[in-house]
A and B are shown apart, each in its own frame.
Chain A
Amino acid sequence: MSWSVFAPEIIVFAVALIALLIELDRDVKRPWLGYVIGMGFIGALVADAVLLGAGVTETAFNGGYRIDALAAAFKAILLAASALVAIATARVSIAGAKRGEFYLLLSLSVLGATMMASAGDLLVLFLSLELTVLPSYALVALKRDGRSTEAALKYFLLGMVASAIFIYGASLTFGLTGSISFTDIAASLSRTGMSPALVIGIITLLAGLGFKIAAVPFHFWAPDVYEGADVPVASYLAVGPKAGGFAAIIRLFVVALGPAATTWAPLFAIIAVGSMLVGNLAALSQTTVRRLLGYSSIAHTGYLLVGLAVVSGYARTSLIFYFLVYSAAVLGAFLIVLAAAPTVGESIEGFAGLSKRAPGLSFAMAVFLFSLVGLPPLAGFIGKFYLFSSAVRGGMVWLAVVGVVNSVISFGYYSNIIRQMYLVKPVASSEVSVPWPLKATIYFLVAAIAVIGIYPSAILTMLNL
């Protein structure tokens, strides 16, 4: 084992230290800090891409840490999204906080999520999970007003309960299998089979991790947090902790609890259907864009979980591909809110006639929303196609049908925003001015979604789909 396989984590940690040190110097305005942090994340992304390209598979620290294609793929998505958030926020004012504080907490949370993607035993998984969420509680509260503090406290209390349930599940799993290492748990499971206590252990582990990805019924924090937190924070939270959470769920359930797949796969199917329905139906009645995106992200967790309800490698690869596509679109939509909110506010009515005031932004928003619906030729269509076709292949046609029906429902509220932007007369005519780094990242995401949609084989061959 060589230390070079930890290059992404080491670079992200260095980025956090840089943010901390710069924050000590209180008088500097630091508009350049976002670029420095963004470049750091891109450096980590390059290191990760090299590991992914070389197909490095390493196990370190007595099985506690695994570097393989699954970890590298999720880390790549996570690091790319974090780099885009850092660069997009470089010239945006971060409410109530010092710029360095924001980037310090952001990079620590990113570090936790990258480690979560690599966790190989329950202890490392627990520690990295906490490292991911503890800075994010503080990030949500960073704005220091009543609403963000309320969102942060709700997020914190629910998150703590979820963590405690997760640890209880971990303790049961450890006691019944005699090990915390994922491979040893799998070996012990296939030897001894299931027991009722172990079923409780699996359900509690699922509850703890379900909170992180905002799956029903552990989703209550998501709309509040996406609405109450500062927009840059919300845009990170929609992608970062979810990337770590999905990677950890895939590894924990497929690697460690693989022999018990007949127990947990139906659970995932139920949660998937519940998340899709609750997310989409609640989103229909929302009046602010951010809350709508919060419910839509719950629905997307539901689509993604189809990839776990169907137990096959094809389904899991579809999950990773759809996660990439979802991340690009939801991050883009949040960045549009970040760009437009100072001028038009955050209510859906505020977006009325935006196509006259900011044609570029409106077009980008339409691309992001259509990709979330899954309309061809955008990336979202390819992602959903693979995800639902994996359900059909796995003999769960009803799950694919539920997914398609939900996509149709979701068209209702996404198209409402697009209708406001293009068909309703504007209430004001002032120009929407957007800092150039933010504009650049938004157009980069538009290009990414179009390219992945028209030419998906570039990514798919990388994932062996």
Chain B
Amino acid sequence: MGLEYYLALSAIFFGIGLYGALTRRNAVAVLLSIEIMLNGATLNLVSFSRFTPAKSTGQVFTLFIMAVAAAEVAVGLALVFALYRAAKTVDVDEIDMLRG
């Protein structure tokens, strides 16, 4: 299989994730969609690294992305909990205390 298949798959991942992040109303579902976007990017990195004579840069980059994504989810879920405590909802369309 050539590089194009991997790139197409990663573009599909990225597109699905972006669509979900923009349309889902549940904050946790938005978080999940963002993870799918990240998967698209990391698949890109790994496959470029595999198919070019270049070194292992893509793989190393991917490891860093995974670590950062874990940290981000920790912060994100804490915020979702805090929001649920304050507003009794995790629906991003229902919170509208700030307007203008």
Contacts and interface: CB of A to CB of B under 8 A. Distances in A.
B8 interface: no
A164 interface: yes
Interface string B7-35: 10010001001100110000100110010
A171 to B, nearest CB: 4
A150 B97 CA distance: 8
A171 B44 contact: yes
**B-side interface size class:** 35 or more
A454 to B, nearest CB: 36
Contacts of B18: 161, 164-165
A228 B86 CA distance: 14
Interface of B: 7, 10, 14, 17-18, 21-22, 27, 30-31, 34, 37-38, 40-42, 44-45, 48, 52, 54, 57-58, 60-61, 64-65, 68, 71-72, 75-76, 78-80, 82-83, 86-87, 92, 95-98, 100
Contacts of A152: 79, 82
Given A168-B44, A171-B44, A127 B64 contact: yes
Interface string A272-310: 000000000000011110010000000000000000000
A168 B37 CA distance: 8
B44 A130 contact: no
* Nearest 6 interchain pairs by C-beta: A175-B48, A171-B44, A164-B37, A146-B86, A167-B41, A168-B41
A171 B45 contact: yes
Nearest to A123: B61
Contact of A146 (B44, B48, B61, B87): B87
Nearest to B62: A171
A160 B80 CA distance: 14
A165 B100 CA distance: 27
Contacts of A356: none
B45 A130 contact: no
A154 B68 CA distance: 19
A201 to B, nearest CB: 10
Nearest to B21: A161
B64 A126 contact: yes
Contacts of A170: 41, 61
B58 A174 contact: yes
A444 to B, nearest CB: 31
A172 interface: yes
A134 B72 contact: yes
A164 B69 CA distance: 10
B interface majority secondary structure = helix
A141 B78 CA distance: 10
Given A171-B41, A224-B98, A153 B68 contact: no
A219 to B, nearest CB: 13
A interface majority secondary structure = helix
Contacts of A228: 97-98
Given A150-B97, A171-B61, 19 more contacts: A123-B61, A134-B71, A138-B75, A146-B97, A149-B82, A151-B98, A153-B92, A154-B92, A157-B31, A164-B41, A167-B42, A167-B65, A168-B40, A171-B41, A171-B58, A174-B57, A223-B100, A227-B100, A228-B97
Contact of A160 (B7, B42, B76): B76
**Chain A CB within 10 Å, residue with most, of B18, B42, B60, B82:** B82
A101 to B, nearest CB: 13
Contacts of A126: 61, 64-65, 68
Contact of A175 (B44, B72, B80, B95): B44
Contact of A147 (B40, B64, B76, B97): B97
A156 interface: yes
Contacts of A146: 86-87, 95, 97
A145 B86 contact: yes
Contacts of A163: 72
Contacts of B72: 130, 134, 160, 163
A144 interface: yes
A288 B99 CA distance: 11
Contacts of B30: 157
Contact of B61 (A149, A154, A174, A291): A174
Given A144-B82, A157-B30, A165 B37 contact: yes
Nearest to B52: A178
B79 A156 contact: yes
A15 B38 CA distance: 32
Contacts of A223: 98, 100
Contact of B83 (A149, A287, A288): A149
Contact of A174 (B21, B45, B100): B45
Interface in A397-428: none
